[in-house]
Amino acid sequence: MKYVIIGNGPASVGAIEGIRRYDFDGAITVIGKEKFPAFSRAMVPYYLSGRVSYEKLSIRNFDYYTERGVELCLDCSAELVDTQKKVVFLSSGTEISYDSLLLATGNRSRQHNFANCLQDNYYDAFSLTDIENLREKISVSKRAIVLGDGVEALSIAEVLSLNGIEVIVLCQGHLLPELFDNNCSEILEKRMLGFGVTVFSDSTIKKVVKSSDDKLKGVLLGTGLFREADFIVNAAPGKPVLISGIDEIVSYGSENKFIMSSEDASVFLSGNLINKSSSFFASSYNYGVCAGLSMASVDMDIKNVYKSPVRSINVFGINISAGGAVEVDSPKVEKLEYIDKDNCLFRKLFIKNNELNGYCIVGDRGFAGLYSGLLRSGLKFDRSSALFLLKEGVMSFFAENNLYPDLLKS
The mean of the pLDDT values for the chain is 82
The answer to whether residue 49 sits within a structural domain is yes
Residue 295 near residue 3, CB atoms below 8 Å: yes
Residues of the chain with pLDDT > 90, as a percent, come to 34
What SS3 class is residue 370? Answer: helix
Domain boundary among 306, 329, 347: 306
Residue 275 confidence (pLDDT): 44
Report CA-CA distances (Å) from 397 to 15, 356, 366, 393, 402. Answer: 37, 13, 15, 6, 8
The reply to whether 45 and 162 lie within a common domain is no
- Asked if the structure places residue 55 within a domain, the reply is yes
Q: How confident is the model at residue 268 (pLDDT cuts 50, 70, 90)?
A: confident
Mutual angle of helices 394-401 and 368-377, in 10-degree steps = 50
Instruction: Look at residue 403 and tell me whether its pLDDT is greater than 80.
Output: no
- Residue 312 domain flag: no
Most confident of 227-231, 237-241, 276-280: 227-231
How many domains does the structure of the chain reveal? 3
Residues 115 and 210 in one domain: yes
Give the whole-angstrom CA distance, residue 13 versus residue 143: 37
Domain that holds residue 277: 2-106+241-306
Q: What are the residues whose beta carbons fall under 8 Å from the beta carbon of 409, sequence distance 6 or more?
A: none
Of 238, 254, 270, which residue constitutes the final position of a domain?
238
Same domain flag for 125 and 228: yes
Q: Is the pTM of this model over 0.85?
A: no
Does 194 share its domain with 140?
yes
In a domain, 314, yes or no: no
CATH code: domain of residue 185: 3.50.50.60
N- to C-terminal Cα distance for the chain? Answer: 37
